[in-house]
Structure 1
Amino acid sequence: MIRRVFYPCLISLVFISAFLCSSIPEPVIALTLTLDTQFDTDFSYRRHDDLSRTTEKILMDSLVAIRDHRMDVALHRMETLIKAHPEFRLAQLIYGDLLLSKDRPITGIGNYPGAPLDDVIGLREEARQRFKHHLSFPGSAAFPEYIVRLPGDLVWVVVVDISKSRLYLYENHGKGIYLRGDYYVSVGKNGSPKRFEGDKKTPIGVYATTNSIPLETLPDRYGVGAFPINYPNEWDKQLGRTGDGIWIHGVPKDTYSRTPRASDGCIAVANTDLLSMKDILATPNTPVILAKGISWIEPEEVVARRDRFEERFNRWRRSWESLNHRKYAEYYSHDFQNGVQDYTSWLRHKRRVNAGKRYIQVRVSNLSIFGYPGERNMLVVTFDQDYRSDNFGSRSKKRQYWRQEKAPHTNDGVWRIVYENVL
């Protein structure tokens, strides 16, 4: 039996029809772009039948029917949806409007005495975010700008567009990277970026999962799981940002989803969606990119960006091996920090260490490159480093933050390292 909990007039059919004035795209199609060593521009596509049966697909089918004035079809679809998810407040809301439309026209949003205004505003914004995504998501036509290169041993990447309330899950498999999931999410009450403890904002940057919180210790408001990320990261600490406890977690069991800005800074995902990702999020060091807006770019542009930067990166490595101190220093910004030394003290240290060496050999493997959201022209680069010289050898995982800086005789600027550390 359907639990008929209605919010009459919260979202008008007039509003829905106006919002869906343009055509609805086809169900999400998997996107493939080769991102490992043999990087090319070949795309391949395949439909994911499971995506076409998601809750969001049913919701969109209903809204398209409303737009086309097929109210009986819309009502049937919404009945199907709330049978499956009676706790889905937005679905109940639209279902209530459909029932009311049989007796009288809907003249406004929440246009009745005693309407809970905060709920009206939040649910309306949830509807708007979901609709806007389906109307504007480029699907198979483009690729998120922040994924530049993935190593072969890195399987999953999470990309969150805070401004659109969406989470995209990508799998690095075989010769390409595939879009495996596309989910609605809720973020911090006060938006982004996070700067200090208690500001109820969601961070902007490149992060990674750390572990999972035991389910038996979680209050109900975190739903079916919680997976912390490593905020603040190295760059956040350099900028003096504070706070912690940023998680990707579920929602209370009596609701299907939360309104777009409802958390204290975390990423809140519907429990059904979180369950589909839990093993991925529980894997430490899964990249999580949190962005306030995503530029979707053509695969050829991704290739060109990667190739231009990797040429600079390889020159940095060769300059280190050359024992030419001045040439090596050119790859480091005057703003450079490593958590212990600034540019001047680091330069002095390097000059002293390298003075007595006869040779240096540096090998790099498992290179990953991500664009850094919220920072103009910045890349975060992580790799395994095998260092050898005549008097010392080491293996380590290194992370560098590269920034494109103005330089003479070029309009494009020059990539230099502003932060570097061993993980």
Structure 2
Amino acid sequence: MQYIKILGVAISIAIGLMISFIGALHANSKYEADLLHVVALMMTPAHEITTDMLNQFVAAYPESRTGYIMIADLFAAKAGLSTSLGQKMEHADRDVVTDLRNQLSIRWSYHNVIKPARKNLTPSSLLQLSTDHDLILFMDIPASRLILYKRAGRMLHNIESFYASIGIKGFGKSLEGDKKTPVGIYRITGFIPGNSLHEKYGPGALPLDYPNLYDRLSQNTGDGIWIHGTEPGYVNRAPLASDGCISIANKDFKKLISYIDGSIPTPIVIDSSPEWVSNSNISYRRARLLQAIKKWSQVVGEGEQEKYLNFYDTSFFETRLNIPEKSRTILADFPLDAVLDLGKSNLFSYPGIDDLYVADLQFIDTRADTFVVRQYWIEKSGKNWKIVSQLRIPK
């Protein structure tokens, strides 16, 4: 008897192995766990699923269009049809079915291939989270996954994971209205309740501070990049389906804002080609950046202008500036008597750009007021570290 081609691709993973992964899903992903369990039963040679089971699934999740696709596939398989639903539809309808199959395939792949392979690994861009922050978000674009990490000392632990959609035109936002999701390091700046937004945003939105300093230096335009829910009638959108925002299921969004309510600027890294590395690798990368920052801080504290100006790349200044003017440019962001607290500083490597790093450095001044200066560091040949941009940002 043939297998049901519910994913549109041949999958050779053992069903028993798959079910063991389903048991490890987060509690808030019950829809996803139930969905993948149904798929597992449909993929067995004996089709160990009944129409009653599928009817129970769609009754529990009436907004799951994928559930109705699976019912149609089950009937097609039982009738001995070799073609799966969607191959003889009108073009627009066929695209919808293709999107649903892609979403399901991505979910399956994440829980059965990608996630197990990443056990005990961390995105290489997450070097250090400030002791003032307990949480950070990581958007893994290839896996269509928004991951919430919680800090424990210097370690980060994955506590939630949500299937997520990005811009309909993909990633790499550079122009206003290009319907792409930006790649970079951002912060959540607040919360907008759903009752003040169009219904397509679901329960609400968490705005991001796009464009950041690097975007502006790169002349990237646009704004209004949010994390938000989904319109009525949908559990999730297709992998590429927003105007550039990150969209997750409404239940997942409500779960997310139980952790992050927008009252503090929670960081988020959006990465189009993440590298997953060991904790020892993270420690090594962090130590190299910290060494450069400590040297810079020491020289700045000594107050010798020419020495600390050497830490700034020539592109940082306008060529017509003399040394006193260059010094005033730097001191506009922080006074020399401010004390740097590295433990309360965020450190990242910039996604998609080799040798570019971001340091959100927290200082305390003589009045005991704290402030944050964001620096962009680049590692040139050897151990030659330079600051290419710097800006004081809200704490």
Q: TM-score range by the shorter chain?
A: 0.7 to 0.9
Equivalent residue in structure 2 for 1:69, among 45, 65, 85: 45
Could you say which residue in structure 2 is the equivalent of 1:90? 66
Relative to 1, partners in 2 of residues 1:258 and 1:344: Cα closer, same or farther, differing over 3 Å?
Answer: same
Q: Distance in 2 between matches of 1:177 and 1:194?
A: 28
Q: Which amino acid aligns with 2:211?
A: P
Could you say which residue in structure 2 is the equivalent of 1:166? 145
Relative to 1, partners in 2 of residues 1:386 and 1:224: Cα closer, same or farther, differing over 3 Å?
Answer: closer
Please give the residue correspondences for 1:141-160 in structure 2 after superposition, counting only pairs within 5 Å. Answer: 141-160=120-139
SS of 2:321 mapped into structure 1: helix
Q: Distance in 1 between matches of 2:104 and 2:368?
A: 57
Relative to 1, partners in 2 of residues 1:122 and 1:353: Cα closer, same or farther, differing over 3 Å?
Answer: closer
Alpha-carbon deviations, 1:354-410, whole Å to 9, x = none? 9xxxx955521211102211322211111221356xxx998532111111223xxx3
Q: Distance in 2 between matches of 1:70 and 1:233?
A: 54
Alpha-carbon deviations, 1:268-305, whole Å to 9, x = none? 11001001012404333111111112111111101111
Equivalent residue in structure 1 for 2:234, among 240, 249, 255: 255
Gaps of 5+ in 2: none
Relative to 1, partners in 2 of residues 1:114 and 1:197: Cα closer, same or farther, differing over 3 Å?
Answer: closer
Q: Which amino acid aligns with 1:422?
A: R
Cα deviation for residue 245 of structure 1 reads: 0.8
Cα deviation for residue 96 of structure 1 reads: 2.1
Pair 1:381 & 2:372 matched: no
Q: Which amino acid aligns with 2:214?
A: W
Q: Distance in 2 between matches of 1:139 and 1:352?
A: 46
Relative to 1, partners in 2 of residues 1:346 and 1:152: Cα closer, same or farther, differing over 3 Å?
Answer: farther
Q: Distance in 1 between matches of 2:328 and 2:145?
A: 50
Could you say which residue in structure 2 is the equivalent of 1:287? 267
SS of 2:192 mapped into structure 1: coil
Pair 1:127 & 2:104 matched: yes
Q: Distance in 2 between matches of 1:376 and 1:164?
A: 21
Q: Distance in 1 between matches of 2:205 and 2:283?
A: 35
Equivalent residue in structure 1 for 2:185, among 206, 209, 215: 206
Equivalent residue in structure 2 for 1:405, among 380, 383, 393: 380
Cα deviation for residue 153 of structure 1 reads: 1.4
Cα deviation for residue 308 of structure 1 reads: 1.5
How many percent identity over aligned positions?
27
Q: Which amino acid aligns with 2:65?
A: R
Pair 1:187 & 2:187 matched: no
Q: Which amino acid aligns with 1:123?
A: L
SS of 1:237 mapped into structure 2: helix
TM-score for the superposition, normalised by structure 2:
0.86
Relative to 1, partners in 2 of residues 1:384 and 1:351: Cα closer, same or farther, differing over 3 Å?
Answer: closer
Contact conserved, 1:164 with 1:293, CA < 8 A, in 2? Answer: no
Relative to 1, partners in 2 of residues 1:208 and 1:15: Cα closer, same or farther, differing over 3 Å?
Answer: same
Contact conserved, 1:20 with 1:64, CA < 8 A, in 2? Answer: no
Contact conserved, 2:170 with 2:181, CA < 8 A, in 1? Answer: yes
SS of 2:200 mapped into structure 1: helix
Cα deviation for residue 109 of structure 1 reads: 5.0
Pair 1:369 & 2:344 matched: no
Q: Distance in 1 between matches of 2:138 and 2:66?
A: 25
Alpha-carbon deviations, 1:304-338, whole Å to 9, x = none? 111111111101101112333333223211222xx
Contact conserved, 1:369 with 1:380, CA < 8 A, in 2? Answer: yes
Q: Distance in 1 between matches of 2:42 and 2:299?
A: 64
Contact conserved, 1:20 with 1:131, CA < 8 A, in 2? Answer: no
Relative to 1, partners in 2 of residues 1:330 and 1:91: Cα closer, same or farther, differing over 3 Å?
Answer: farther
Contact conserved, 1:97 with 1:106, CA < 8 A, in 2? Answer: no
Relative to 1, partners in 2 of residues 1:344 and 1:302: Cα closer, same or farther, differing over 3 Å?
Answer: farther
Could you say which residue in structure 2 is the equivalent of 1:16? 7
Moved more, 310-319 or 95-104: 95-104
Q: Distance in 2 between matches of 1:93 and 1:286?
A: 38
Could you say which residue in structure 2 is the equivalent of 1:38? none
SS of 1:380 mapped into structure 2: strand
Equivalent residue in structure 2 for 1:320, among 300, 303, 320: 300
Q: Distance in 2 between matches of 1:119 and 1:352?
A: 57
Contact conserved, 2:73 with 2:85, CA < 8 A, in 1? Answer: no
Q: Distance in 2 between matches of 1:143 and 1:77?
A: 38
Q: Distance in 1 between matches of 2:187 and 2:223?
A: 13
Cα deviation for residue 18 of structure 1 reads: 4.6
Contact conserved, 1:58 with 1:77, CA < 8 A, in 2? Answer: no
Could you say which residue in structure 2 is the equivalent of 1:178? 157
Q: Which amino acid aligns with 1:382?
A: D
Could you say which residue in structure 2 is the equivalent of 1:245? 224
SS of 1:183 mapped into structure 2: strand
SS of 1:179 mapped into structure 2: strand
Moved more, 220-229 or 379-388: 379-388
Q: Distance in 1 between matches of 2:8 and 2:213?
A: 47
Equivalent residue in structure 2 for 1:332, among 298, 312, 315: 312
Contact conserved, 1:194 with 1:204, CA < 8 A, in 2? Answer: yes
Pair 1:59 & 2:46 matched: no
Relative to 1, partners in 2 of residues 1:353 and 1:139: Cα closer, same or farther, differing over 3 Å?
Answer: closer
Q: Which amino acid aligns with 2:295?
A: R
SS of 1:310 mapped into structure 2: helix
SS of 2:175 mapped into structure 1: coil
Gaps of 5+ in 1: 1-11, 30-46
Q: Which amino acid aligns with 2:134?
A: V
Relative to 1, partners in 2 of residues 1:15 and 1:86: Cα closer, same or farther, differing over 3 Å?
Answer: closer
Relative to 1, partners in 2 of residues 1:170 and 1:81: Cα closer, same or farther, differing over 3 Å?
Answer: farther
Q: Distance in 2 between matches of 1:387 and 1:417?
A: 22
